[in-house]
Each structure stands twice: as C-alpha cells, then as structure tokens.
Amino acid sequence: MKILQRRGRLVDDQAFEELIEESQDLHSDALVVAKATLPDLEDFAADRRQAGPLEVTPSDLAAFNASRSTLINKVKLGIGGAVGVGLVTSMFAQKASAADGGIDVMMLQTAVSLELLAVATYGAALTLPFIKDGNPVIVKFAQTTMGQHDEHRAAFSAQTKALGGTDQTKTNPKYTPVVEAAKPTLKTAADVVKLAATLEQVATETYLNDLNMFTDKTSRVLMASVMGVECQHLATLRAVGALLGSPDLIKIPLGAGITKLPAAAGSVAFPDAFEGVTMASPPEEGAVK
C-alpha cells in the first residue's frame, strides 16, 4: 500500500487520493447492486407474505445460531476448501426455518444501526481541530467515507422496507456506548484512526458473518458488495494507523525506495488471510425492538 512520507508529511497525498478513488469505485459498484436487486427483493417479500406472517422467537433465534455454529465447527474440524464451504452452505440452507425471513430483516436492521454509528463517528471526528485543520486529504477521506456509510445505510434501509420490516433509526446499542466513552480520549489523529478502524472491523466481520445466514440471496449480494467497501476502509485505516504509531515507518524518506520499508508495511493492512468474525454483531443486536 503506497502511503509513505513525502516532504515532511506523514501521508503521500497522491497515493491516498488513489485509495479514495478506489473506495469510491467499490462503493459505486455496491450501490448499483443495491438498486438493481430491489425489484427482485420486493417480489420475494410478496411471495413470502402469502405464506403468512413471520415471527422470530428467542428459541427460533437460538436454534438458528446453534445450527450455524455447529456447521461452522465442522469446517474447522476438517471440512475444508471450496467443497467444504459448499457443503456447509447447503446443509445450513436445509436447516433454515420459516422464521429465517424475520432474521433477514433483523440482520439488515443491525447493519443499519452500524452504518448510522459510523456516520455519527466520522462526523464527530471531522469537528476535532487536529482533524479538520490537518491534512486536507485525510479530511477528504473522512468525508468520503462518512458519505459512503450513509449511502450504505440507505441501501440497507431500502432492503429492510422491501422485506416488510421496520427501518432502524437508532445507532447500534452495543457499540454506541463504546464510541461515546472514547470521544473524550480522542487527542490525536492516531486515536481517531484506531476508533474508526474498530468500527470498520465490526462492520466487515458482521457482514461476513451474515452472508451464510441470509435466506434471501438478493440481500446476501448487497451485503457482500458493501462488505468489500468496509474491508477497504479497514485496510486503509490499519495502514495509516501503523504509520502514525511507528517511527520506523515514518522516518524512511520516499527516495529510499519501497524495498527499504519494514516488513510490517506489507502486512499491516491485511494481517490475516481472512477476516475473522469474533467482533461480528449478532442478527438481533441492532434489530428494532
């Protein structure tokens, strides 16, 4: 990732502009998917309503999550590769109950709650003097990312309504207190980057976790598209965070060449081959009560 020191600055403006452009491209693709799939989603919801109202009870949700955990554990125990993933997907689909449609709505509502919190957090960060009066490219990244999160919120809200669900208008109940507690401690750009990266990781892992739980393929496609954008946000913030916190990185002049960068520079954005789901929000976390 090309984020190097240039002329005394921490961030290579040109490289960062390229990352913003890449993020916008991913975001635009996700919105195209969202708009294109809404008619199909409305038809799916209409067909499902003919079967009667869907209700999600605590026991339904517990059974659903237990079923999913059991199947994923089988993968961990040795069912690997594409065949294993296909087998799990197939088995999981066979175990889905009539209540799954309601869980689809809950996952979308939780996604909306996370996007609302991201918008609020970036908005608050942009009011901090050391952000708004700092590098203009960093400001542009924050503004662009905040706008993307708001459009993701709108896309998830539209799908929630298309499935007959109530739109979520509140921020995520678990992570909102985390953000509020962190606000007074935001004294440097590194503090802001760390907080933003946490929210992007929660969103990335939540959407990854949700993919195997959707019974509606249309919602799954949108979630996967948006997840790619959040993952790009996360990678960028990890790289910037490493530069802010590592003198070994920022002391290297641009003229020394990329081969002189420490090994961490090539791995910090994606420390693992695949993101985990340990920070993923469960379907019911941000659902409308």
Q: Please report the pLDDT score of residue 250 as a whole number.
A: 47
Q: Is the dihedral of CA 196, 115, 131, 30 positive or negative?
A: positive
Residue 170, Cβ neighbours under 10 Å: how many? 14
Q: How many CA atoms lie within 13 A of 237 on its CB side?
A: 23
Query: What DSSP string describes 149-216?
Result: HHHHHHHHHHHHHHTTPPPP-S--TTTHHHHHHHGGG--SHHHHHHHHHHHHHHHHHHHHHHHTT-S-
Architecture of domain 13-55+99-266: Up-down Bundle (1.20)
Which two structure tokens, joined as six digits, stand for 270?
């994606």
Which two structure tokens, joined as six digits, stand for 184?
């007074």
Residue 249, Cβ neighbours under 10 Å: how many? 20
- Partners of 9 in beta bridges: 6
Give, for 94, the enclosing helix (H) or strand (E). Answer: helix 81-95
From residue 244, alpha-carbon distances to 84, 201, 269, 271 in Å are 40, 19, 14, 17
Which two structure tokens, joined as six digits, stand for 186?
């935001």
Which two structure tokens, joined as six digits, stand for 89?
């997907």
Domain ranges of the chain: 13-55+99-266, 57-97
Residue 200, Cβ neighbours under 10 Å: how many? 24
Q: What is the pLDDT along the chain (289 residues), one digit of tens a residue?
A: 344 333 334 445 666 676 677 777 776 666 666 666 655 555 555 555 554 444 555 555 565 555 455 544 544 444 444 444 443 443 333 333 333 458 889 999 999 999 999 999 999 999 999 999 987 878 888 999 999 999 999 999 998 988 888 999 999 999 999 999 999 999 998 899 999 999 999 999 999 999 888 887 778 888 888 898 898 899 888 888 877 766 555 444 445 555 655 566 667 777 776 778 889 999 999 999 8
Tell me the C-alpha distance between 59 and 175, whole Å: 25
Judge contact between 231 and 211, C-beta under 8 A.
no
Tell me the C-alpha distance between 244 and 8, whole Å: 13
Give, for 74, the enclosing helix (H) or strand (E). Answer: helix 58-76
**Phi, psi for 280 (deg, rounded to 5):** -65, 140
- Partners of 6 in beta bridges: 9
DSSP state of 259: G
Q: What is the largest CA-CA distance in the chain?
A: 67
Tell me the C-alpha distance between 235 and 197, whole Å: 8
